[in-house]
Chain A
Amino acid sequence: MSALQMERREFLKFSVAASGGLLIGLYLPGASKLAVAEERSGSIFMPNAFLRIGTDERVTVIVNHSEMGQGVYTALPMLLAEELDADWNKVGYESAPVDPRYNHPVFGMQITGGSSSVWSAFEQYRNAGAAARAMLIAAAAQQWNADPATLRTGSGVVIDGANRKLSYGQLAETAAKMTPPAKVTLKDPKTFKLIGTPVKRLDTPEKINGKAVFGIDVKNPGMLTAVVARAPVFGAKVKSFDDSHARNMPGVRKVAAVPSGVAVVADSFWQAKMARDAVRIDWDEGEMHAFSTSQMMEQFREQAKSPGKSVRRDGDPDAALAKAAQKIEAVYEVPYLSHLMMEPLNCAVDLGAESCEIWTGTQFQTVDRAAAAKVAGLPNEKVQIHTTFLGGGFGRRATPQSDFVVEAVHVAKAAGVPVKVVWTREDDMQGGWYRPAFLHAIVGSVDASGNPVSWKSRVVGQSIFAGTMFEGMMKEKGYDPAAVEGVDDLPYEIPNLAVEYHQTEVGVPVQWWRSVGHSHTGFATECFVDELATLAHKDPYQFRRALLAKHPRHLAVLDLAAQKAGWSKPLPKGRARGIAVHFAFESYNAQVAEVSVTDGRVRVHRIVSAVDCGHYVNPGIIAAQLEGGAIFAASAALFQELTFENGRLQQTNFHTFPVMRMNECPEIETHIVENNEKSGGIGEPGVPCTAPAIANAVFALTGKRIRKLPIRLTEAA
């Protein structure tokens, strides 16, 4: 067991005395749905526990969100340390165990998603820090026999009127005996010292010397490695398998059928993988054996010809269209996409008769724990998840069905020893839970002066919520809100507007992918607005401005991006710009992309990205997320597509599903709108504008409309 794991277990046991420090348990009013529920049922308040201060002065912030690159191991400690008045050089982080105290205060479960970590933690972590600070002051007051009101704090010390100082470490033991304050006063944001500054990430050192532990790096005593042969076609079942060769290969300890396929357990990954490849399996391929994405898209096109479920209807778009001076129709298509995290999926399980311990990089602890408990036949409390660093998440590691965790518990059960299931890159890419393919059929019109009078969008694609625990959200609305988010709230001033949705049933497992529905609605709507601007003979930037008069925050990012990109300034021959603006995850983003085309290949030279994410915590991390979001989206726009033939995925690894590389990477400039609005998200909002900004730039340069991703100029309209 590593020191870190030991520390975490100690923490779980609340062994305050043993560690000689202060563990602050807090009840934060209204902090979690569960806490409120407990209060109502008359039981004791459930404390939240976000902080540990040691006699060694270490301030350890327990982070209830998973670190997958987005910077929560820095941003959340900043929130707490600000109110605690901690010495930032003494602040560290630790991932929270699974416990209702660490539930997302709005979502009511432990989850990292929806670009919600900072806004959901904004008060929670500040309250935790402020309460701790009050207890440290109370402890100092007791030691000095002073009135707490005469004491102040500064960078990890309590200071009295005579300038005497006691450090937080010196006060830790006394503070542990203090009663948590019933109410805390938070700092005036004007006095923030940390929040709003580009503090360097706390996790960089261990990510540049090989020490950071990702799920795939976990090694427990007696642990074996398993590689699983999974269905080549979604829904296929094992009819029979022949492991006569595999089970005699070096290092192989066990070959066993599990619900997802056949697991090979061996001493090492390579042995397990070689033996897995040697298992011969006869599959019952089921209904998906003939599935093809090209046929599926044909069906989507047919479906788009008839009305779908009405999502939004303003005015009378059909009547307005019939009378319009000019109209335009366009069909946009986007493919299935893999999240393709750099770290392929993996999950380590130590299953005992009375306990189940799991080590994995997950975004979805509460759900994974319940799913694991069910397979293990244990109550939830007997299952613990140790959340490691995530080598990328992008939504894949928050699977409502907990596929990779459930499978690993099954494998551990079959193996009878601690086991780590490791997916190869090919396994990961073929494992499903993709961003669904979508089609948007849009018809719009403008009047004689070029003002838009109607817009009708028909959205066709799979629901990511259907068949999951989130299906309830669909029942409320009558449709899957995630399929149409970003088009159902189209901000443009268009008097006659309709949005309809056709939910398609396809046997390909799908789920959220960085920016969820916005990843396709942003593309379709921002390209179509551009097409309307062309129809109206107007500049695409000015055309959008005129339609956003009632949306000052959209306008502010649009103007900032246009200004910083030099929208009105001429470009050298062979270059052109495109623009897009979109609201997602409580933040506003606009981007201007500059492109050229050589031998039919689009090259993106520069992206200027402007964001309004409200009151922000760390502008350095915001810039990094905007850079990363644009590159993630540009990879998809330029290169990526998953296709199926005969039920089989045609892509296997990076050579057939490319990711943007250093030599293709544009210069990226980021700008932040300064305001004090409520904090919004940042991990995902930087994604939706990139594809349409690039596509619109390609049109400006070539006169060809890009209506299908990835961009292929030969297929352009």
Chain B
Amino acid sequence: MILFSVNRQRVNLDVDPSTPLLWVLRENLGLTGTKYGCGMAQCGACTVHLNGEAIRSCVAPVSRAEGKEVTTIEGLSPDLSHPLQRAWMAEDVPQCGYCQSGQLMSAAVLLREKPRPSDEDIDEAMTGNICRCGTYPRIRKAIHRAAAMMSTGGAK
């Protein structure tokens, strides 16, 4: 049995501990917002937070989550109220949308660590997340917008 917490709920699962966390989230827990894109930490579609750090869940065995807190896109906010989600809507970021969960989870860690990121900071934090539709310019704008929102106390 592996015991960990997902989006602040405790889970206790009987799964092969070598199974990638991605598939446990998607198939055992029904949290399909986290996506499969490459299976080798190349594209970032599977990005989730493990104890607050952005990790690629496609290459992280579920055993790595033992006793830890996992946050997925479903746990980013209950009601689209996270500044990044509001900024994503304001900039009309997604196209097909498939990579966006991973983009948001990477951006959330960036903003926590650097509340007013520079373009170079954004390059560094977001380069591991591929978007095939080419939403990068809007992601960049939306991160700056979210940072601005947060610096004014979350006001819209």
Contacts and interface: CB of A to CB of B under 8 A. Distances in A.
Contact of A342 (B32, B77, B88, B130): B130
B34 interface: yes
B88 to A, nearest CB: 5
A70 B27 CA distance: 29
A600 interface: no
B72 to A, nearest CB: 7
Contacts of B139: 662
A211 B88 CA distance: 15
Nearest to B74: A210
Nearest to A422: B36
B118 interface: no
Interface string B115-156: 000000011101111111111111110000000000000000
A663 interface: yes
B65 interface: no
Given A270-B23, A342-B45, A342-B99, A203 B74 contact: no
Contacts of A200: 89, 92
Given A205-B80, A209-B80, A662 B136 contact: yes
Contacts of A631: 134, 136
Contact of B89 (A67, A208, A270): A208
Contacts of A204: 88-89, 92-94
Interface string B4-44: 00000000000010011001001110111111111110110
B85 interface: yes
A392 interface: yes
A632 interface: yes
Contacts of A668: 137
B132 A662 contact: no
B104 A343 contact: no
A69 B122 CA distance: 23
Interface string B72-104: 111011001000010011001111111111001
Interface stretch (A3-11, A162-170, A214-222): A214-222
B89 A624 contact: no
A341 B36 CA distance: 12
A268 B20 CA distance: 12
A655 B42 contact: yes
Contacts of A539: none
28 contacts: A69-B95, A200-B92, A201-B92, A204-B93, A207-B94, A208-B93, A209-B73, A210-B31, A210-B32, A210-B34, A210-B74, A212-B97, A250-B16, A268-B28, A270-B20, A270-B23, A342-B35, A342-B96, A342-B98, A343-B35, A343-B37, A389-B98, A392-B98, A628-B95, A630-B134, A653-B39, A655-B42, A662-B123
Closest 8 CB pairs of A and B: A210-B33, A631-B134, A391-B98, A207-B97, A69-B95, A69-B96, A628-B134, A217-B32
Given A207-B94, A654-B43, 11 more contacts: A209-B76, A389-B96, A391-B98, A624-B95, A627-B137, A627-B138, A628-B133, A632-B132, A659-B43, A661-B128, A668-B137
Interface of B: 16, 19-20, 23, 26-28, 30-40, 42-43, 45, 72-74, 76-77, 80, 85, 88-89, 92-101, 104, 122-124, 126-140
